[in-house]
Amino acid sequence: MPTASHLNNSLYFDFRAARRVPETHAWPGLHEHPVVDGGGAAAGTGDAVPVVDVRAPDAAARVARAAEQWGAFLVTGHGVPASLLARVEERIARMFALPAAEKMRAVRAPGEACGYGSPPISSSFSKRMWSEGYTFSPVSLRSDLRRLWPKAGDDYRLFCDVMEEFHKEMRQLADKLLELFLRALGLTGEQIAGVQAERKIGETMTATMHLNWYPRCPDPQRALGLIAHTDSGFFTFVLQSLVPGLQLFRRGPDRWVAVPAVPGAFVVNIGDLFHILTNGRFHSVYHRAVVNHDRDRISLGYFLGPPPHVKVAPLTEAVPRGRSPAYRAVTWPEYMAVRKKAFTTGGSALKMVSASAAAAAAEPDAL
Ligand SMILES: C=C1C[C@]23C[C@@]1(O)CC[C@H]2[C@@]12CCC[C@@](C)(C(=O)O1)[C@H]2[C@@H]3C(=O)O
Ligand SMILES: O=C(O)CCC(=O)C(=O)O
Ligand SMILES: [Fe+2]
Predicted pLDDT of residue 3: 39
**49 C-alpha vs ligand 3 centroid, how far in Å?**
16
Burial of residue 176 (CB within 10 Å: 0-12, 13-18, 19+) is middle
Residue 277 CB coordination number (10 Å): 26
126-to-110, 122, 145 alpha-carbon distances in Å: 16, 8, 29
Mean pLDDT per 10-residue section of the chain, whose length is 367 residues: 40 92 96 96 94 98 98 98 97 97 94 92 94 97 96 98 98 98 97 96 97 98 97 97 94 97 97 98 98 97 98 97 97 97 94 90 64
- 313 closest CA partner among 332, 299, 327, 297: 327
Predicted pLDDT of residue 40: 87
Beta-carbon neighbour count of residue 362 at 10 Å? 8
212 CB near ligand 2 (under 6 Å) = yes
CA of 226 to the centre of ligand 1 (A): 11
How much is the pTM? 0.96
The pLDDT tens digits for 75-97 are: 999 999 999 999 999 999 999 99
pLDDT value, residue 365? 59
ipTM: 0.99
| Ligand 2 neighbour 230 (Cβ under 6 A) | no
Report how far residue 209's alpha carbon sits from residue 238's, in angstroms, rounded to the nearest whole number: 10
Radius of gyration, CA atoms only, the chain:
21
Q: Which ligand is nearest to the CA of 296?
A: 2
Would you state the pLDDT for residue 5?
42
Q: How remote is the CA of residue 211 from the centroid of ligand 2, in Å?
A: 8
Tell which one of 227, 238, 272 to mutate to probe ligand 2, the residue whose CB is within 8 A of the most ligand atoms.
Answer: 238
Instruction: State which H helix or E strand residue 59 sits in.
Output: helix 59-69
Environment of ion ligand 3 (residues, CB < 5 A): 231
